[in-house]
Amino acid sequence: MIYVEKFTFRETGVIKLEELKRLNLLPPQERLLKGPVAILECPEEIPCNICVPFCPSKAIQMESIIALPKIVWDKCTGCGICVAVCPGLAAFVVDISKQDADYVTIPHELLPVPRVGDKVMILSRSGEILGEGVVIRVWERNKTYVITIKVPKGLGLEVRAILSKPLK
Amino acid sequence: MPHIDRRIYEHPIITFNRGKRVIFYFEGHPIEAYEGESVAVALYALGVDVFSWSPKFSRPRGPFCMIGKCSSCFMTINGVPNIKACKYPVREGLVVERQRGWGLLAKSSILEDYKPASSEKIETDVLVIGGGPAGLIAALTAANYDLNVVIVDEHFKLGGQLLKQTHKFFGNVELFGGLRGFQIAEELAKKIALEKRIRVLMSTIAYGVFRGGYVGVVGENAHYIIKPKALIIATGAQEKYLDFPNNDLPGVIGAGGAQTIMNEFGVKPGESALVVGSGNVGLIVAYQLLQAGVRVRAVIEILPEIGGWFIHAAKIRRYGIPILTRHTIKYVEGDVRVRKATIIAVDEKFNPLPGTEKEFDVDLVLLAIGLEPDSRLAIQAGAVVKYMPELGGFVPVRTRFLETTVKNMYIAGDISGIEEATAAMLEGKIASLAIVSRLVDTSRSSKALEEAEKVLKFLWEEYRASPLLLRAKRGKEAVTISINELEDLRKKFPSPVSFG
């Protein structure tokens, strides 16, 4: 029998890359290296399929309202609509195909809203400060800001939040 | 009077459009407030933490539930004691006083100008008690089939607890998924306003169900005796309490109460918070506190796992808010408001582990340990209820169409067992369609039943198929009975009341 390590995200509130991979939520390496692609960090069978009808490329599939989302990786263009509409703020777009830096697109619902060119603190899934990033693009949909940040090479799969200034 | 301004002027999600400025009097001090605010919120915004003193030990009491379900904000307004200040809209010239002990009628002033309230008799097809997601959908569904509907709601705004939900809803687009809770409330309220067949009685309380199928409803200077052909009780739920020393100190607030203060009214509930309980409510309120500019020190959870959905947990973890599992609250300290909270780790049997205490300097301790169905009216009417821990408390036994053992009395939403707003809307629809099928002609009746079956199928087989909803689903299965079982229960426990 193969020993399967237990998922720990229900204890920690932080999902590990290998857990995302086991749930088929992480794009394969070849796809990641091709350019921007969505990652839906949605590991539980919650009754929600909002991302499906909104995806302009019809790249997200769900067998039922409680199924985990499945992305057809080659259809996904990394446009970021899912980042804007996901009620769980669980959608991200990652681009690790560039030489100089990685690019991460995240949902943001805190004040202040950063502007293009701002330097911001970049945070991991557990709120650890990973360094500094630069805001590349900002757009909004129903008060969810979709923010693309340029982050140091190697951090594309780690950065999941930003802050313009430290929390109180 | 403290001189603090807790109003929120900038918020990432909500624009607080405050109404006209009004002045009222609080223990002799003029108070500036805005139309649309409740007395409780207007006082809290200016730093009033103590709303009353307890009758026996004169302990200070502050707001707790903020939705009219508890007695924490009882005040004397214009000489009338025991008014829920959380449900009382501010008005020019009100005279508000705190109560030390029991509230007493100021006999001379009140009784001299006492005039009995006008009493109106209303006959209607459907009476809906509660203007939250379940009640509003139920009302709209019945009106859509040309039935006359009366909605009774204790608040001065429609929407129930949708009013304070700032996150985008899950589900699918047809079920308002993707919209924020308060936006759903706005949309439903707009639709209700356009329906000529729906009459809304705001700021009223259904105080009892009476023989002959009457429901007594009372508001300020108004009394209604309503005789509906069918009744839908959609009274929602209330926050559960937790035992720990000083749990009655102002600053210990229900998580939902804090949401009302900050999201419905735009007032900061405190500066620094500890959240007790990591179910969805606890996780969501922690995120909302962050959005309102309140520091969140930690969310604690007595179980070894986070109670709510991972995605809600991830939203606060990525900003560095710790979720401390296997921890409980030991006590809070403070004189007139919480100053400090002490938590402690527990073992597998939930026994506290001495020496593991941690202290937090917080002025806010939010209880998010679960909700309890508000089934009081159904119980008073004589409905057979069952205690279901997985549903939060006592819930009426019902058919799959949500009819209780009281004939033509239906339930919908959290009163039927705690779930969330989407399930509440689906239940409101089912109960309403079942009533419609009894009250309209044959051809439309079968259409309504068909529609009800469709909603039932989606709710039970698709929506509640989620493993995260399993516990509630099992609880609901256990209290859902067949028509034959319903008839048996009606014989065994006859209710003095019936409708229709």
What single string gives the DSSP state of each residue in B235-296? Answer: --EEEPP---TTTTSTTEEEHHHHHIIIIIS-B---SEEEEE--SHHHHHHHHHHHHTT-EE
B40-49: average pLDDT: 97
Does B313 touch chain A if contact means CB atoms closer than 8 Å? yes
Q: Which residues of A touch B306 (CB under 8 A)?
A: 10-11, 13
Q: Given a cut of 80, is residue B109 above it in pLDDT?
A: no
Single-letter amino acid code for the residue at A57: S
Rounded to an integer, what distance in angstroms lies between the CA atom of residue B64 and that of residue A153? 49
Q: How far is B103 from chain A (nearest CA, A)?
A: 41
How would residue B112 be classed by pLDDT, with cut points 50, 70 and 90?
A: low
B467 preceded by a cis bond (ω within 30 of 0): no
pLDDT for the residue B103: 85
Q: Is B318 on the interface with A (CB under 8 A)?
A: yes
Q: What was the pLDDT predicted at B115?
A: 75
The predicted pLDDT at position B108 comes to 59
Provide mean pLDDT across the span B443-451.
97
pLDDT per residue over B148-201, tens digit each? 999 999 999 999 999 999 999 998 898 899 999 999 999 999 999 999 999 999
Interface test with A, best of B301, B422, B466, B470 (most A CBs within 10 A): B466
pLDDT in tens, A137-150: 999 999 999 999 99
C-beta separation of A46 from B311 below 8 A: yes
Instruction: From B1, B24, B20, B22, select the one nearest B78 (Cα to Cα).
Output: B24
- B273: which chain A residues are within 8 Å (Cβ-Cβ)? none
CA distance B168 to B13: 11
Is any Cβ of chain A less than 8 angstroms from the Cβ of B485?
A: no
pLDDT (tens digit, 9 = 90+) per residue, B126-153?
A: 999 999 999 999 999 999 999 999 999 9
Question: Distance between terminal CA atoms of chain B?
Answer: 54
Check: CB of residue A37 under 8 Å from CB of residue B453: no
Nearest to A159 by CA among B299, B493, B318: B318
Tell me the C-alpha distance between A85 and B168, whole Å. Answer: 8
Q: In chain A, what percentage of residues exceed pLDDT 70?
A: 97
Closest to B10 (Cβ–Cβ): which among A11, A111, A126? A111
Pairs across A and B, CB distance < 8 A:
142
Q: Which candidate, B344, B246, B260, places its Cα nearest to that of B86?
A: B260
> Which tens digits make up the pLDDT trace of B83-105?
999 999 999 999 999 999 888 87
**ipTM strictly over 0.95?**
yes
CB contact B187 to A (< 8 Å): no
- Cis before A112? omega within 30: yes
CA separation for the pair B72, B87 (Å, rounded): 12
Sorted by where each starts, the structural domains of chain B and their CATH numbers stand as 21-112 (3.10.20.440), 119-238+372-492 (3.50.50.60), 249-369 (3.50.50.60)
Give the rounded distance of the alpha carbon of A145 from its chain centre. Answer: 13
CB contact under 8 A, A113 and B12: yes
Q: Does B470 touch chain A (CB under 8 A)?
A: no
Apex B231 CA angle, B177 and B88, nearest 5: 70
Residue B107, pLDDT score: 63
Residue B434: pLDDT over 80: yes
Q: Considering chain B, what is the average pLDDT of its residues?
A: 96
Q: What sign results for the dihedral spanned by CA atoms A92, A58, B183, B185?
A: negative
Q: Report pLDDT digits (tens) over A83-108.
A: 999 999 999 999 999 999 999 999 99
In chain A, what is the greatest distance between 2 CA atoms, to the nearest angstrom? 53
**Contact present, B79 and B109 (Cβ < 8 Å):** yes
Q: What is the pLDDT of residue B111?
A: 63
B52 membership: H or E segment, kind and range: strand B52-53
Q: Is A44 on the interface with B (CB under 8 A)?
A: yes
Side-chain-side CA neighbours of residue B74 (13 Å): 17
Point out the residue among A9, A65, A89 whose CB comes nearest to the CB of B172: A65
- Which tokens in the block code for residue B386? 């069952």
Chain B contact for A166, CB < 8 A?
Answer: no
Which has the closest alpha carbon to B48: B81, B9, B90, B3?
A: B3
Write out residues 150-169 of B within 8 Å (CB-CB) of A.
167-169
CA–CA distance, A135 with A103 (Å, rounded to integer): 10
Tell me, what's the pLDDT at B2? Answer: 67
pLDDT of residue B220: 87
Q: Does A67 touch chain B (CB under 8 A)?
A: no
Asked if B180 and A143 come within 8 Å (Cβ–Cβ), the reply is: yes
CA B372 to chain centre: 10
Report pLDDT digits (tens) over A26-63. 999 999 999 999 999 999 999 999 999 999 999 999 99
pLDDT attached to residue B221: 86
Residue B267 pLDDT exceeds 60: yes
- d(C-alpha B21, C-alpha B323), whole Å: 41
Round to whole Å and give the CA distance between A120 and A164.
Answer: 5
Residues of B in contact with A16 (CB under 8 A): none
Q: Is A168 on the interface with B (CB under 8 A)?
A: yes
Tokens at A74, concatenated: 């080659």
Among B271, B275, B310, the residue to mutate for chain A (most A Cβ within 10 A): B310
Cα dihedral value B155, B336, B283, A147, nearest 10 = 90
On the question of pLDDT at B257 being above 70, the answer is yes
Write out B342-399 in H/E/C secondary structure: EEEEECCCCCECCCCCEEECCCEEEECCCEEECCHHHHHCCCCEEEEHHHCEEEECEC
- Contact yes or no for A88 and B315 at CB 8 A: yes
- Average pLDDT of the residues of chain A: 96
Q: Quick check: A161 and B462 CB within 8 A?
A: no
pLDDT at B342 over 90: yes
Q: Do B180 and A142 touch (CB under 8 A)?
A: yes
Q: How far apart are CA B88 and CA B203, in angstroms?
A: 8
Q: Which of residues 276-295 of B touch A (CB under 8 A)?
A: 290-291, 293, 295
Query: Which one, of B100, B99, B68, lies nearest residue B254 by Cα?
Result: B68
Contact B481, B395 (CB under 8 A): no
Closest A-chain CA to B178:
A87
B169: amino acid identity, one letter: F
Element spanning A20, H or E: helix A17-22
CB contact under 8 A, B323 and A13: yes
Q: How far is A27 from chain B (nearest CA, A)?
A: 19
Among B234, B287, B236, smallest CA distance to B258 is for: B287
Q: Is the pLDDT of residue A1 over 60?
A: no
Cβ distance B149 to B199 under 8 Å? yes
Q: Residues A64-99, buried b or exposed e (16+ Cβ, 10 A)?
A: ebbeebebeeeebbbbbbbbbbbbbbbbbbbbbbee
Is the Cβ of B324 closer than 8 Å to some Cβ of chain A? no
Q: Do A87 and B467 touch (CB under 8 A)?
A: no
Three-class DSSP category at B99: strand
Q: Which pair of tokens denotes residue B194?
A: 């356009």
pLDDT at A4 over 80: no
Interface list for A 143-162 with B (CB within 8 A): 143-144, 160-161
The answer to whether A164 contacts chain B (CB < 8 Å) is no
| C-alpha span between B192 and B135 (Å, rounded) | 11
| A15:B314 CB<8 A | yes
pLDDT at B102: 87
